Structure 1
């Protein structure tokens, strides 16, 4: 199920919509990296291309992370 979430990034409220599975994975990644959930989202937001939306950037980040983990020996 897709859920809309609100978060404050750089002092501004914004929202994103992702499926629960992506949200769970983002929380796991944040924990494994020793980051707060908000810090991870802020990092992803800062790195995303200007022509992409935050929701897409979050999904693509999770996909890249999972692919990298799969490729590790």
Structure 2
């Protein structure tokens, strides 16, 4: 995985926010947004409403990206079995 972070600026709950993630995580989040037929900022804002205040947004987004990939992988596995 790439060691450098890519920072993006978003508006969440009416506030400017910057999030720094590895490009690979941004790619997964973009895939998630496309899968949900919504722009990336809308997806991130929606996910942010589910985040616990003690958890950083970057950490939360990484976990959500991982969970989505696991769900995609499981779905592909069940499709292959049928």
Tell me the TM-score normalised to structure 2 length.
0.83
Answering whether residue 14 of structure 2 is matched by residue 11 of structure 1, we say yes
| The structure with more strand, counted as a fraction of residues | 1
SS of the residue aligned with 1:52?
Answer: coil
Answering whether residue 49 of structure 2 is matched by residue 46 of structure 1, we say yes
Partner of 1:67: 70
Kindly report structure 1 stretches of 4+ aligned residues shifted beyond 2 Å: none
Q: How many residues align?
A: 73
Tell me the TM-score normalised to structure 1 length.
0.92
Aligned residues: CA RMSD: 0.9
